Amino acid sequence: MNESPRRICPFCAESIPARARLCPRCRQWLSWRSLRHPMIQLLLIQVPLLVLVLLGFGQFLRIFQRLLDPQPHYTEASGALAVIRSTLNWVDTEKGPRLFVTGVLTNHSALAWRDPEFECRFFDADGNLVDAAHRTSFMTVKPADDPAFRVVIEPARPRDAYHALQVRVSWAKNARAFF
């Protein structure tokens, strides 16, 4: 009888054909030189595909970052918005007295800024700081524009403690930001 050469499977110890790449009994791969071997598929196809997906996701995150927070930031152009004048007004509301800080803002830059945050400092008659507050005014300030603003502040001291006011823009969002 002309029998083909055989060998023993190292996994299940059964006699199998010598040229077998896959054991017919235990289904274990016996040869690394087959493209159907799961490890070869993992190394040649799935790992490079995963690297491409991760690189693409990184690029997507960079684009998304530019949409959410475009350059330049307000910290790089901190003198772009300036308060021309401001006034302090007391208003009695049903929730108690409130300070209405009103004024005019100007934009010295070529960019539009959105939602400026105002730092309001209040001083007594001797020039000592008695209160401070940060409030956001939801508005857009276009280049070379002079819009009016108003922020409402709940006072921490009695009316007679407030004599002077200093207002500046501490932060603003680039108007090209998506959100």
> Per-residue pLDDT averaged across 28-44, rounded?
77
In a domain, 4, yes or no: yes
Convert the pLDDT of each residue in 75-116 to its tens digit. Answer: 888 889 999 999 999 999 999 999 999 999 999 999 999 999
Convert the pLDDT of each residue in 165-179 to its tens digit. Answer: 999 999 999 988 876
Q: So what's the pLDDT on residue 2? A: 65
In a domain, 94, yes or no: yes
Measured CA to CA, the distance from residue 164 to residue 128 in angstroms comes to: 10
- 166 and 96 assigned to the same domain: yes
Segment (H or E) for 167: strand 164-174
Model confidence band, residue 66 (pLDDT cutoffs 50, 70, 90): confident
Measured CA to CA, the distance from residue 37 to residue 43 in angstroms comes to: 10
In a domain, 41, yes or no: no
Q: Which residue has the higher pLDDT, 30 or 12?
A: 12
Q: So what's the pLDDT on residue 154? A: 94
> Per-residue pLDDT averaged across 38-42, rounded?
81
Q: So what's the pLDDT on residue 43? A: 86
Measured CA to CA, the distance from residue 141 to residue 107 in angstroms comes to: 7
Model confidence band, residue 19 (pLDDT cutoffs 50, 70, 90): confident
Total domains, the chain: 2
> Per-residue pLDDT averaged across 11-27, rounded?
87
- 96 and 154 assigned to the same domain: yes
pLDDT above 80: residue 1: no
User: In this structure, how many other beta carbons lie within 10 angstroms of the beta carbon of residue 122?
Assistant: 23
Q: What's the CATH number where 79 sits?
A: 2.60.40.10
In a domain, 50, yes or no: no
In a domain, 112, yes or no: yes
Q: Whole domain around residue 164: which residue ranges?
A: 74-174
- Give the mean pLDDT of the chain: 89
pLDDT above 90: residue 4: no
- 108 and 168 assigned to the same domain: yes
Measured CA to CA, the distance from residue 80 to residue 171 in angstroms comes to: 10
In a domain, 5, yes or no: yes
> Per-residue pLDDT averaged across 127-149, rounded?
95
Q: So what's the pLDDT on residue 73? A: 83
In a domain, 124, yes or no: yes
